[in-house]
Amino acid sequence: MKRRQGLLVGLGLLAVALVWWVVQVAVLPSDARSAAATYGQFVLAAVGLIVSVVALWRTVLPPPSVGLDELSDRFAVAMRTQGMAAALERGLMQPSPLPIRWTGVSEGIAGSVASATAPRGAGAWFPPLPGLDTITSADLRSGNREKLHKIYGALPSGRLILVGPPGAGKSSAAVLLQLDALRYRESASDAEARRRIPVPVILTLHGWDPETTPVVDWLVSRLTLVPLLRGRAGARHARALLERHVTVILDGLDEIPENLRPIALRALSEQATCRVILLSRTEEMADAARQHLFVGAVAVRLKPLTPAATVRYLLGPLASPAPSAWRSIAETVKDKRSGPLASVLSSPLWVSLLHDIYPPLGNLDAAVDELLGDRFADPRAITQHLLEKAVAAAYSARPGQKPSRYSPATVRRTLGVIAGRLHRDRTRDFTWWGMTAWSPWSGRLASAIPLALLTIPAALTAAALITALAGDLFWVTLGSAAGIGIAIKFLAPAARYPLTLGGSFRSRNLRRGVLLGLSLGLGFGVVAGSQGGFAGGFATGYAGGLAVCLPVGLVGGLTVGLLDHLAQQGRNDVNPPTPVNLWRAELATVPLLLVTFTLAGALVFGLIGGVIGGIGSGLEEAVMGALIGAAIAVAVWTALSKTIRAACGQLYLTVRYRTPFRLLRFLEDARQRHILRTVGPVYQFRHATLQDHLAADTRPSSRRGAEGGYALPVRTRCP
């Protein structure tokens, strides 16, 4: 839609310019009218060449197709890389992951277990994955991590709901399940069996409006964030994968607006065509299910940790015998199972935080036994203490880690601003390019000033140079109209998210650009030569027409090849779409755009000037054309760049809240210190309860929730 709108805008401006030109030529004296009409014919031929190149490139030469099996294998590699990174960020690899224990639940959350497990006819629902047996109702009573994967792969309905209280480890369980599923796929006996095993991908539900956006369309928009599925054919490939070649794990149903949750369940029930695993807090899922069930789904609830599992996790990384402070904690957990400390440490959230705040010190005692004091007589006091110390512990000095460049006040203030804004938006997800919208309209206006200071001079420079070269403001309007239309047509799809190259400029783009440009240049050269031949001889006309149109066609084809590459960027990239990768990849477009447009301007104007006015004139106009190309490249990149807009938004946050200007560096530092985590290109607080705590600190009126967390306020002010 955006590409069509951009093309229509360009063609509309072009039509207006042509009408104006006809009117102007009609009122000129006869001698001037003849010269102007001849010049106009040449310009129309050049514009027609550009439009034809664009049209043929998009229609006659479709993007190369990729086999669905090969695409699935590449997608699996990307998801495995992303899953391993997520497991490391969550501390799921060292020490060994906490055990997953679950029990089946259907009352108030899911429908009949018997109906979800009943065998269907041929071609209906989902057959068990290769190597797995059909499950029965008895298999859904309780189980562990291994059995959870079996249910995921053998459930006939293909629909599973995973619920639990805050801090129960739902997101961690989803990451481990994703890695187990990918490992099972890799161990398939042959290619045919591997083809039948879908690739799991974890997505968050933030940003989906089920009232206006179909499930498949929204999933396609999220999948195309992966570099492998970006570009012109990315949406088509994503739709093909969604036909039972992927399993979507949807986290955060409880984070979308309450009125949209039952609508989302209904949309998933009626529209989802692939396996779906849905994660949510228990109470929020039950409230939504009262209005509409996730039809055909089976629900399981994560169980609290046993004291034995907690003790194994706490003492595992320590030397034997464990320090006395940790032995005291372990004995308290085992002996006082109903006590406040044992109650808190039955949740994976607090167990993992305990290791973060009191890191293992070999045979040295830690201050962890302070939790056994009288001031921690109830669970709430313990959880509040752990949350208060979490940030300070993350930024304390540790072996092999550089001291933080940020002061404790800066860290607390910046994290509070981020958490407070996320509470206002009722979400757990944020991106560096989305932070531009965090300022009010006055802040956005102020942030737009640096953007204007970069874009306007470049645009004015290009206009002035073209005016000096062409001698008529009309040609500026005409050239700008065509340029804007083509730029929007090719670059608008990638401008929804950061522009990325995702690889080198491939020879296929170069070869097609050369062949297409030369073919069209030859055709237009013959036409132009025939028109000139009637006036000054066909030999001279053909020589002049080919001398002008062939170079223009060559440069035009190469330029369109570059734009096509930008539109298809990353189609072979199996790396996960991390925030830093997207930032760096967009910055990498700057030198390529500058070199391409500079050379294109120099060649086009230099060759035309050389044909018309001689070698000296050609050299002068080549220099001017190079300057025009460079100015246009700067203007186009500045206008479309998400990094520039993000920098402007960060400037506002720095002035208003004294946050670090290089906010992405701060976010990466927080991720390395296990305060934040990433889900693809999206940042999240590693612990949602910590986000609630930081947001509540910036808003004293926020209501405290259960489990030491904080309830999302219904209406809040921007921090």
pLDDT digits (tens, 9 = 90+) for 489-521: 444 343 344 433 333 334 455 566 666 666 666
* 673, 679 contact by CB (below 8 A): no
Question: Smallest Cα–Cα separation from 300: which of 526, 164, 103?
Answer: 103
Residues 454-472: pLDDT tens digits?
A: 555 555 555 555 555 544 4
Average pLDDT over residues 22-36: 55
CA atoms of 561 and 484, how far apart (whole Å): 17
CA atoms of 344 and 170, how far apart (whole Å): 17
CA atoms of 690 and 695, how far apart (whole Å): 9
CA atoms of 391 and 691, how far apart (whole Å): 11
Question: Which is more confident, 135 or 700?
Answer: 135
Q: Where in the chain is the domain with CATH 1.10.10?
A: 417-441+659-708
Q: Where in the chain is the domain with CATH 3.40.50?
A: 68-302
Question: Smallest Cα–Cα separation from 333: which of 354, 358, 363, 362?
Answer: 354
The 3-state secondary structure of 342-384 reads HHHCCCHHHHHHHHHHCCCCCCCCCHHHHHHCHHHCCHHHHHH
Question: Which is more confident, 322 or 62?
Answer: 322
Look at residue 120 and tell me whether its pLDDT is greater than 70.
no
In the numeric block, which tokens belong to residue 208? Answer: 């989906």
pTM of the model: 0.69
Residues 535-548: pLDDT tens digits?
A: 555 566 666 666 65
Question: Smallest Cα–Cα separation from 595: which of 640, 633, 568, 548?
Answer: 633
Mean pLDDT check: name the lowest of 250-254, 485-489, 582-586: 485-489
Per-residue confidence at 218, pLDDT binned at 50, 70, 90?
very high
Mean pLDDT across the chain:
74
What's the CATH number for 68-302?
Answer: 3.40.50
- pLDDT for residue 322: 80
Q: Where is mean pLDDT largest: 13-17, 271-275, 486-490, 497-501?
A: 271-275
Look at residue 205 and tell me whether its pLDDT is greater than 80.
yes
Helix or strand holding residue 26 (H, E) = helix 2-26
Question: Smallest Cα–Cα separation from 291: which of 324, 323, 267, 273?
Answer: 267
Look at residue 160 and tell me whether its pLDDT is greater than 80.
yes
Q: β-pairing, 298-302 with 101-105?
A: antiparallel
The amino acid at 554: L
Q: Phi and psi at residue 143, in whole multiples of 5°?
A: 175, -170
Could you give the C-alpha distances from 260 to 27, 284, 382, in angstroms and in order? Answer: 62, 12, 35
Tell me the β-bridge partners of 430.
Answer: 683
Question: Which is more confident, 469 or 193?
Answer: 193
In the numeric block, which tokens belong to residue 352? Answer: 């993992």
Look at residue 130 and tell me whether its pLDDT is greater than 80.
yes
Look at residue 199 and tell me whether its pLDDT is greater than 90.
yes
In the numeric block, which tokens belong to residue 290? Answer: 């009262």
Pick among 2.40.50, 1.10.10, 1.10.3720, 3.30.450: CATH of 417-441+659-708:
1.10.10
Q: Where is mean pLDDT largest: 248-262, 430-444, 670-684?
A: 248-262
CA atoms of 452 and 458, how far apart (whole Å): 10
- pLDDT for residue 219: 94
Mean pLDDT check: name the lowest of 238-247, 427-436, 571-580: 571-580
- pLDDT for residue 716: 32
Question: Which is more confident, 622 or 84?
Answer: 84
Question: Which is more confident, 229 or 573?
Answer: 229
Question: Which is more confident, 321 or 619?
Answer: 321
Look at residue 44 and tell me whether its pLDDT is greater than 60.
no
Average pLDDT over residues 56-70: 60
- pLDDT for residue 706: 36
